[in-house]
Structure 1
Amino acid sequence: MASPGQIKVLTFNTWGLPLASKDDKLRLRMQADYFRQSGKTLDIVLLQEVWTDEYVTLLKDAAAESGLVHATTFDGGVLGAGLLVLSRFPFTDVAFRPYTVRGEPGALQGEAMAGKGIGYARVQLPYGGRCTTLHLFNTHTHANWVHSVTPDAQLSDVKVPTDTFAPYRTANILEAVSFMKPIVVAAAAAGELVLAGGDWNVPADNLEAALILELLPGLRDAWQLAGHGALDPAGNTCGDPSNVYTGSIIGGYVPERIDFLWTNSSRVLECETVLKIMPGTSLNYSDHFGVRGIISCEVTSTESAVMALARAGIFPQQRSASGDAGDAVAMGGWGPTGGNINGRDRQASAAAAPSLPRSSPCDSPIILAPPGPVAESKITPDPGDGDSVGPTGRKPSRRVRLLQLALAQLRAGMDATNVGQTRLLRRTLLFAAVTLVAIAVQLYGIIAETDHWAKRLAAAVAVVVAPVALGLCLFQVAWMSMGTAGRRGFGQLMRMVEVWEKVARADE
């Protein structure tokens, strides 16, 4: 348990999926032992991929022994959401937003069957003053197995994913943002703490992370606030070569930090990766590492935070006439790599910037180290038009550009969904035709007067083929209905982003 005025929080993907994950019985028992012992030092635990009721009960009971007596799950879809929140303090409200765009229907990886979404819990804190309420978010977005990216020509610090699953992850992030935004804004106005953890399945320099920082400007990356570099290999939580389960990850491994704690706290005293090797074994707790942080309950307004950074010589400099970020500094989640500077923040930082001499070290950008060896990652040239200009004759702002990239992802997802729907329709018609032919052969075998061996063989085969073909036909129909829901989800998100882009352009 952290000191008064602080929250000790852990986010961890348990990889608790029977049959599909390795050593799940052993690992979940060892995880329960960890929470039974180390849970005494924790206040909040955010878990993902707790897919069965058995594992939910196992972890809840173990955590309760260490004082984490409050627990809530979030459920949806056929397989559930796999989300579990454990707390030392009582909940006063819970809510769940299932993602409308989940994955490709019929794909073997099964994302479309899972009920992924984002869960919310409001927690009553005992500290008094402003430190009385904590807003928690827990999520698990669509997996990334390919890791192909392309750098954006306009925003050099942003890598745009090009794998076929990228539109689904982008859709998940945008839905999470739309769900979180009213709560985050209200919490900022009230000076209340926000923590958003989970397996976000995106590294810190990708489009999806940039969207979070830009569209939820009050939130920042706890790892960076604790003084670590955004792409420091020490923070890698998945695909790490030292993890014995790394080879079990579909598509190989790419060492990345994809498990995050986002917060509006003014101070993060500590943030580290944990839950690695299980005691007495050579095995890991999961194919992910956990992230544990000690977060201050103090919440600083966005303007105050920017001014403090500016006084320290860490600030986003004014944009040039062309709209470029110029030589702004990449530090902590602020500046071009973080990108969470809204218009009001830029005004505050611009006012503070002239007080620093031109010879300041901030005149040169800080180059972040690469995230270690990337075995499977493919970086391709940007096919987009990064030099496009807005109606004012200059490059669009960072927010507009990010929304343009997000909209392109959603459109790609819509196009892929339409192609998939056509493919499913053709399969449906094919299996329906096979079913009808098989039934016709059976009827012929019944009413035909001849007793030839070929007739008997055809009838016997038809008896087997007809139900199989009918079952496959019904599966296609079910997947088509899921595809229709996904298409509507993409459409709604596209309309939402178009509105956001229009507002962002009006604010330029």
Structure 2
Amino acid sequence: MAALAPDVAAFQEVWTEAAMEALILSGREAGLVHVWQNRPGLAGSGLLVLSKLPILESRFEAFESRGRPERVWHGDYHSGKGFGDLTLDTAAGPVRFVVTHLHAGYGTDGYDGTRLAQVIQLTAALRSTATPVIAVGDFNLEEDEVHHRVLTDLGGFRDAAIERGHRQQTLLANSPYRTAPAVEERIDYMFIRDGRSLGAVARTIDRVFEEIFEIDGRPAAHSDHAGLLASLELDRPTQLPAGSARSRETALAASKLLELDLDTTRRRRTTRLGFGVLSLLIALPACFGGGVHSTRRRFLAALLGAVGVGNLGLAAGPTTRQIGALDRAVERLETLEDSPFR
């Protein structure tokens, strides 16, 4: 990091104490002595910010829409995702700096609605700030998706790479940590928005930490993602208002996606409730029968009962909470549509 001489560095997926400590030490050597971290490990978000600039305020907001807990192999539900929201003290004035990591897609996806609700929550949380905002991280979305347009059309953000005419893929196909065939995608971003009296403009943005090297004779890399290094200038605000027609189109497209995911999630809850009740109705009588095969029958009945209880638990807990999160995303979207950032 010292060779790049950043004023601020943001990281995602810092899952272990050892990784966190190594990055903080490297940051100190580069003069990044101010640290914000959310605890690593299970449900810890994996977010870290190192800064030369003093951190005036900081907070973490967890995403309400979290995905599906039963898909433990995906991991996002259990990783405590959200966004870190910091106010940095610059010579030109305070700047709001946000780092986030949205729900991953996992190929066939099925998480479009979850990720859209996260984007809407983030956009709504930053809507009323009077200071410039810089939002960075792994957004797990591409620029042709409605998620991107919510940020730009309704949130008033500018995509720094588009602004500079310098789009670069950030998910690397040649990373030793990805399996072939792999495609490159641009899913890591820096979004910028002017404040009322102070603006922010990206002068450069480039891909860094993309090298492949060897450790003990085996190929290695810093990550399966490249980093982004940007140079920003703080000056008078120059941002133009978003077009109202485009804002309405974006809100309509986002609303349709949320309603579709709400319908799917409600049907999933109904299915789980029905399967859970049916499993218990079958399992309970079998637990009290006798005969030669009673031990095996009781074991299978107990197993079926456990599956039933698990489905009832998912329906009553995480699935119901996901429906609530999507409902709140619809409400926030209506607020953003009625009064998009100007």
Q: Same fold (TM over 0.5)?
A: yes
Unaligned residue ranges in structure 2 (runs of 5+)? 194-198
1:103–1:76 distance in 2 versus 1, CA, 3 Å: farther
Which of 135, 150, 158 lines up with 1:220 in the alignment? 158
Report deviation, 1:179. 0.8
Report deviation, 1:78. 5.6
Matched, 1:341 2:177: no
Matched, 1:201 2:140: yes
Report deviation, 1:430. 4.0
Look up the SS of the partner of 1:302 in the other structure: coil
Partners of 1:56 and 1:294 in 2: CA distance = 25
Say whether the 8 Å CA contact 1:76–1:115 is kept in structure 2.
no
- 2:196 aligned partner: none
Partners of 1:417 and 1:296 in 2: CA distance = 44
Amino acid at match of 1:476: N
Say whether the 8 Å CA contact 2:16–2:41 is kept in structure 1.
no
1:406–1:436 distance in 2 versus 1, CA, 3 Å: same
Matched, 1:479 2:336: no
What's the C-alpha RMSD, in Å, of the aligned pairs?
A: 2.7
- 1:138 aligned partner: 99
Structure with larger Rg: 1
Amino acid at match of 1:201: N
Partners of 1:434 and 1:59 in 2: CA distance = 54
Partners of 1:225 and 1:205 in 2: CA distance = 15
Which of 121, 144, 160 lines up with 2:86 in the alignment? 121
Partners of 1:468 and 1:134 in 2: CA distance = 55
Partners of 2:25 and 2:212 in 1: CA distance = 20
Partners of 1:254 and 1:409 in 2: CA distance = 25
Using the size of structure 1 for normalisation, the TM-score is 0.60
Matched, 1:171 2:122: no
Amino acid at match of 2:224: D
Matched, 1:65 2:29: yes
Deviating 4+ runs (over 6 angstroms): none
Amino acid at match of 1:182: S
Amino acid at match of 2:263: D
Unaligned residue ranges in structure 1 (runs of 5+)? 1-34, 148-162, 188-192, 304-339, 344-396, 445-453
Using the size of structure 2 for normalisation, the TM-score is 0.86
- 2:205 aligned partner: 271
What is the aligned residue count? 331
- 1:84 aligned partner: 48
Amino acid at match of 1:140: H
Look up the SS of the partner of 1:62 in the other structure: helix
Report deviation, 1:467. 5.2
Partners of 2:339 and 2:278 in 1: CA distance = 47
- 1:102 aligned partner: 66
Partners of 1:419 and 1:139 in 2: CA distance = 30
Once the two structures are aligned, what percentage of the paired residues are identical?
23
Say whether the 8 Å CA contact 2:277–2:312 is kept in structure 1.
no
1:52–1:236 distance in 2 versus 1, CA, 3 Å: same
Matched, 1:298 2:249: no
Say whether the 8 Å CA contact 1:76–1:98 is kept in structure 2.
no
Matched, 1:418 2:266: yes
